[in-house]
Amino acid sequence: MEIKEEGTSEEGQQFLPTAQANDTGDTQFTTCKDLVAPVRDRKLNTLVQISVIHPAEQSLTRYSSTEIVEGTRDPLFLTGVIFPSEYPIYEETSIKLTVYDVKDKSHDTQSFLGYASFKVGELLKSKEQLLSLSLRFLSPCLEAWWSMRYNYSDRYHYLRTSDGGKVVGTIEVSVVKMGEIEDGEADHITTDVQGQKCALVYECTAPENVSRKDNLPFLNAVLKNPVCKLYRFPTSDNKWMQIREQMSESVLSFHIPKELISLHIKEDLCRNQEIKELGELSPHWDNLRKNVLIHCDQMVNMYQEILTELSKETGSSFKSSSSKGDKTLEFVPINLHLQRMHVHSPHLKDALYDVITVGAPAAHFQGFKNGGLRKLLHRFETERRNTGYQFIYYSPENTAKAKEVLSNINQLQPLIATHADLLLNSASQHSPDSLKNSLKMLSEKTELFVHAFKDQLVRSALLALYTARPGGILKKPPSPKSSAEESHAQDQPPPIRRQDSIPHHSDYDEEEWDRVWADVGKSLNCVIAMVDKLIERDGGSEESSGGDKDGERDPSLEDSIASHPREDWYEQLHPLILTLKDCMGEVVSRAKQSLTFVLLQELAYSLPQCLMLTLRRDIVFSQALAGLVCGFIIKLHTSLHDPDFLQQLHTVGLIVQYEGLLSTYSDEIGMLEDMAVGISDLKKVAFKIIEAKSNDVLPVVTGRREHYVVEVKLPTRMFESLPLQIKEGQLLYVYPVLFNVGINEQQTLAERFGDVSLQESINLENFELLKEYYAVFMEKMPPDYISHFQEQNDLKGLLESLHQNIQAKKRKNVEIMWLAATICRKLNGIRFTCCKSAKDRTSMSVTLEQCSILRDEHQLHKDFFIRALDCMRSLFSNNCSVGDTLYAEVPQHPWRITRCHVTPKHSTTGNAAILFAIQTKHNPQKPTYYFLAMLDATDLSLSSTTSPRMLGIFWFTLREVTFGGCLCQMFFIHFFAATESIVLVAMAFDCYIAICKPLRYTVIPTGEITGLIACVAILWSLYMIVSLVFFLLRLDSVATLTPTDPLCHLCLPSWEARLKPLNTCSSHIGVILAFFLFPDTLF
């Protein structure tokens, strides 16, 4: 066993508490020799359980375990045991190693072989830090007696100083550090596990340590509760490489949703207030407004309740899959974790590979009965477009534009007022330079303000609001437009289509609005002219800082300038600033009301459905954003000292690739639709890196639903290392892409009987987005970097291969996943892996990807690929890849599915009731009752034929199906089916006589004839089936079958899928008719 400290000093090897421990912790490996098997000639399947005995508490804690090494008595374990820095371990701490022989991994069946103990101080002070311990076997009775008589310390002392227990082998323990092998060779690595009898002892150097002192607070604010494993694998040139795997929770799982919900509450309250301030409306629109406000207030109350409940959450930093249907945790992502692999190779540079694992962003509590967001939004917009006369239809683009203009107004108005006050302050100080700078900022913000209203949407919204006023009277028809205005109007999108309830006021006076927002520009021109004149008279710069845009100057302004002395700058500018503010206030008031009326139309139509869609979209986006922020922070921390990455970050942006493993079957179709919309909405997110002013480095989310900005705080030293553009607050954008390939058994059904067009369309759409990002990347990055990048990477070829695989229509084409992941890594992107709950499929995918990286990038020995995969994956069926029961996979629940495989209750109860009624009837001598009893007994036997085998598989895991058992079950199924058909024919004959020959009914179907018919039914059925059984008995070489995953699919997901099996109906009907009408011809 090897206990490792990365980069520790001699003092650090005292295994002191956190204050002196390295953040990477200490690790252990094990090697056993000459193990004694409990049964002669048995091949052992060995694992070692590591437990820690704390000296103060005298308690035994199960800590970790190795992988299972099969088929050898001299196992070499590749899995290490790591002690994190915060783990309390000292020189007096004892480590107990218990060796087991695993008989059945699927049932966790194992037998005890022996154990040994040692103290940490003994290992560190030993020669070459190597211990060789004897494994001793104690009987269960002696072990129980010891546990009652002695504590752990006394038992440890007794084992070390006496010959108690039977020696069953030896186990070696050694200490190494992460880094290169001291001797430079690994002479004893063999692909035959029988020959692996000892562990190599080697000393290593510390890995790269980049600003660890500054980075730790930053990382600790994001990641919590790490679970670490360490492995050593041989390379193709017989060297050892070391792999450190870590899975951590993220506090952002709850922090980001709370930030978003607070923003939603603030935004919705502001919108409700703006709707209230629309002014007087006609009765129709006023009733709609009241209805909208009632429902919106209910939505705000719901958000406030959810935020309150989230604030009460304590304990775990992630939401488990069992809570995905919890209403109070809807906004929280499922199982958000960082999966990190640190690779140290003997000849290559150390490398880090990060994957964020998270459950697919979806509204599980809302359900998927009507589909997911992709389908629901399309259906909602289609219905709105064809709405009735009560509403005005605005396209989603126009609605988004209205929200954007409103947001710009709310941002620019206070900025303009601030710059105007700064201008007056500069005037009062008679500072020409400060006056020019303030005027420049005021001019820029005011021009943006005026430009925001040069949109046809504002004009049409003003008209719609005007017509909604009670008794609106038009002032005068519009004047003819100039050629310039006409050309400008042609560039605008066509006006929105209005319903018949809104009169088309072709004579609406548009000049009034033009005059209102044009007055803002004129007021600004007056301010510019006044400042230029004041500076000119003061002998300042002769260049005008702005000039009159129209080439004209107000004569009254000239008189005002000439009539005031030099000292009255403030008095001369103050009335002009007041005029500017008044004009701006008038524009803001009218624009806010008209654009709020546009938003009212969106809410007024199908009000509950619209708000529920908004809620569902907020839920899905919250889950997606929490994972994105976590991934961005981890990527920033990892690549903080990579100048090429930082340049790419602020020049091009960051690619974010999501690997989806959802099937296109049943509820997972809705999950995939939710996930596709949620990931697409991440385009609305931008990041901004700021310097942390305190110890609180958690990110802050600002903005609105159409545009979010996430402020990431960095410690001072980390912030100072960033490029100037990023430090000045430049927004950093992300480009999310999703590629989905279903891989489970449900996807098999979807591909054979269902519809996979959703998956194909998603993959094709996101390939185009990835291709666009690659084009921007090649265009904006420096030529020197591009030339070097192209020499090392053939991204163009990878993109072509990805496109070909997407269009190939191949079932479960996992090559799409591998190619997309490779392209993302080469483009310095962030990787996500998602399935329904981020457990089974996700853990299998991540571990396979990690082993593939080790093979392709770090020369993992090809004969150790499967063993490396087994090391990273579970020990038993109830553990995930990290071997920790906290993240256990979903266990099988055979008793819950019993009702799916036992005899259907309707058949059992119905047939039993009929048989009971016939038995208790006073005069059941009529042949009809005999035939009915035979039919019920046959039906009951037929429906019960397969139940014993299925119950044996699911209850007792008796999965083996012998050939004889298969023939026996097949015989009874066909026998009872044939018997039932003959009984039905006999019943038809009985009914014919009773109806057509009623006088002879008591003579023909007598008891003797009824018994004869029963014998004929049995003999004829035997004749039909036995011959087939004899033919099949000749196949005596057929092997025993062992189904690994027996499944029961009760229905297909869609009508189209259910129609596909009907293609073979004609052939099935023909076979059935031939079976019953011409049995002799079958054999």
Tell me the pLDDT tens digit for each residue of 947-995.
777 767 666 656 667 777 777 877 888 888 888 888 888 888 778 777 8
Q: Does residue 110 lie within any of the structural domains?
A: yes
Question: Does residue 35 surpass a pLDDT of 80?
Answer: no
Q: Which phi and psi angles does 246 have, rounded to 5°? A: -140, 135
Distance of CA 700 to the CA centre of its chain: 22
Average pLDDT over residues 806-814: 89
Selection from 534, 612, 521, 610 nearest residue 574 by Cα: 534
Q: Which of 78-82, 752-756, 1068-1072 has the lowest mean pLDDT?
A: 1068-1072
- The predicted model gives 903-923 an average pLDDT of 64
CA atoms within 13 A of residue 110's CA, in its CB half-sphere: 20
Query: 357 and 409 share a domain?
Result: no
Structure tokens at 831: 């990787």
Average pLDDT estimate for 1022-1035: 73
Alpha helices in 277-317 (DSSP H): 283-312
pLDDT more than 90, % of the chain: 23
Within a 10 A sphere around the Cβ of 893, how many other Cβ atoms? Answer: 9
- Provide the CATH number for the domain around residue 83: 2.60.40.150
Whether the pLDDT of residue 584 is over 50: the answer is yes
Q: Pick 541 or 650 by higher pLDDT.
A: 650
Statement to judge: residues 801 and 698 lie in one domain? yes
Are 580 and 686 contained in the same domain?
A: no
Same domain, 596 and 623: no
Q: Annotate 623-689 with DSSP letters as a single string.
A: HHHHHHHHHHHHHHHHTTT-HHHHHHHHHT-EEEEEEE---SSTHHHHHHHHHHHHHHGGGGEEEEE
Mean pLDDT of 496-523: 58
pLDDT of amino acid 534: 80
Q: Residues 116, 49: contact at Cβ < 8 Å?
A: no
Q: What is the pLDDT of residue 28?
A: 54
Do 555 and 430 fall into the same domain? yes
Residue 1046 and residue 912 share a domain:
yes
pLDDT at 498: 38
User: Given pLDDT bands bounded at 50, 70 and 90, which one contains residue 1024?
Assistant: confident
pLDDT at 660: 94
Structure tokens at 101: 């022989």
Task: Specify whether the CB–CB gap between 38 and 137 falls below 8 A.
Answer: no
CA angle 658, 660, 664 (to 5 degrees): 145
Q: Say what the pLDDT of residue 251 is.
A: 92
Query: Is 835 annotated as catalytic?
Result: yes
SS3 131: strand
Mean pLDDT of the chain, nearest integer? 76
DSSP labels for 247-279? EEEETHHHHHHHHHHHHHHHHHHHHHHHHHTT-
User: Where does the pLDDT of residue 893 fall: very low under 50, low under 70, confident under 90, or very high at 90 and above?
Assistant: very low
In a domain, 376, yes or no: yes
pLDDT at 373: 93
Model pLDDT, residue 763: 95
Instruction: State the average pLDDT over residues 1011-1031.
Output: 80
Cβ-Cβ contacts under 8 Å for 655 (sequence gap 6 or more):
734, 735, 737, 770, 773, 824, 827, 828, 829, 830
What's residue 210's pLDDT? 36
- 873 pLDDT band, cuts 50/70/90, is confident
- Total domains in the fold of the chain: 4
Domain end marker among 581, 604, 627: 604
Q: How far is CA 804 from CA 641, 653, 790, 799, in A?
A: 36, 26, 21, 9
| pLDDT (tens digit per residue) in 55-78 | 776 677 888 888 888 878 788 888
Pair 890, 253: CB distance under 8 Å: no
By three-state DSSP, how is residue 700 classified? strand
User: Is 219 domain-assigned?
Assistant: no
Angle (nearest 5°) at CA 860 between 857 and 863: 140
The tokens for 1078 are 């011409």
What is the rounded average pLDDT of the residues 323-347?
A: 89
Range 202-224 average pLDDT: 53
| Lowest mean per-residue pLDDT among 23-37, 191-205, 348-362, 483-497 | 191-205
Q: How many CA atoms lie within 13 A of 138 on its CB side?
A: 17
| 1062: DSSP letter | G
Beta strand 223-234 with 79-83 is antiparallel
**In this predicted model, which residue has the larger pLDDT, 917 or 4?**
917
Position 855 pLDDT exceeds 70: yes
Residue 538 has pLDDT above 80, yes or no: no
Indicate if 361 and 436 belong to the same structural domain. Answer: no
pLDDT tens digit sequence for 77-120: 888 777 777 777 788 888 888 888 888 776 667 788 888 888 88
242 domain residue, yes or no:
no
- Domain check: are 372 and 401 in the same one? no
Tell me what the mean pLDDT of segment 818-829 comes to. Answer: 93
Comparison of pLDDT for 322 and 615, the residue scoring more:
615
Query: Is there a domain that residue 504 lies in?
Result: no
CA distance 454 to 448: 10
User: With 80 as the cut, is the pLDDT of residue 322 above it?
Assistant: yes
Asked which of 254-263, 435-444, 646-655 is least confident by mean pLDDT, the reply is 435-444
Claim to verify: residue 560 and residue 692 sit in the same structural domain: no
- The lowest-confidence range among 198-207, 251-260, 585-594, 917-926 is 198-207
Tell me the two tokens of residue 1018: 């049995």
Q: Using alpha carbons only, give the angle 470, 476, 480 rounded to the nearest 5 degrees.
A: 135
Q: Are residues 373 and 351 in the same domain?
A: yes
Question: What pLDDT was estimated at residue 1052?
Answer: 54
Look up the CATH number of the domain holding residue 1044.
Answer: 1.20.1070.10
From 207, 234, 264, give the residue that closes a domain: 207
Q: Considering the domain boundaries, does residue 1074 fall inside one? A: no
Flag the least confident range among 66-80, 240-254, 757-771: 66-80
CATH number at residue 589: 1.20.120
Residue that wins the pLDDT comparison between 414 and 164? 414
- Report the candidate in 797, 806, 796 with the shortest Cα–Cα distance to residue 763: 806
pLDDT of amino acid 40: 62
Residue 94 within any structural domain of the chain:
yes
Half-sphere exposure of residue 619: CA atoms within 13 angstroms, side-chain side: 28
pLDDT winner (highest mean) among 524-528, 677-681, 742-746: 677-681
Residue range 639-651, pLDDT digits in tens: 988 999 999 999 9
**221-250 average pLDDT score:** 87
User: For residue 294, is it within any domain?
Assistant: yes
Averaged pLDDT for residues 538-557: 47
Using CA atoms, how far apart are residues 805 and 1069, in angstroms rounded to an integer? 40
Q: What is the pLDDT of residues 660-673, one digit of tens each?
A: 999 998 899 999 99
Residues 43 and 67 sit within 8 Å (Cβ to Cβ): no
pLDDT > 90? residue 617: yes
pLDDT tier, 656 (very low <50, low <70, confident <90, very high otherwise): very high
- pLDDT of 82 reads 77
Amino acid in position 599: L
CA 454, CA 404: separation in Å to the nearest integer?
Answer: 13
Contact in structure between 305 and 615 (CB atoms under 8 Å): no
Dist. CA 906–CA 762, nearest whole Å: 44
Segment 891-901 mean pLDDT:
46
Give residue-wise pLDDT tens across range 148-165: 554 555 555 555 545 556
Taking residues 799-816, what's their average pLDDT? 91
The Cα–Cα gap between 669 and 761 comes to: 13
Least confident span in 195-199, 222-226, 389-393: 195-199
| Among 834, 852, 870, residue at a domain's last position | 852
What pTM did the predictor assign?
0.72
**DSSP at 388:** -
Residues 779 and 748 in one domain: yes
Q: Which of 173, 162, 144 is nearest to 81 (CA)?
A: 173
What does DSSP assign to residue 372?
-
pLDDT, tens digit, 9 for 90 and up, residues 472-506: 544 433 333 333 343 444 444 444 343 333 334 44
Residue pair 510/466 in contact by the 8 Å Cβ criterion = no
What range does the domain containing 128 cover?
2-207
Rounded distance, CA 539 to CA 533, Å? 10
656 and 532 in a common domain: no
- 204, 630, 835, 871: the catalytic one is 835
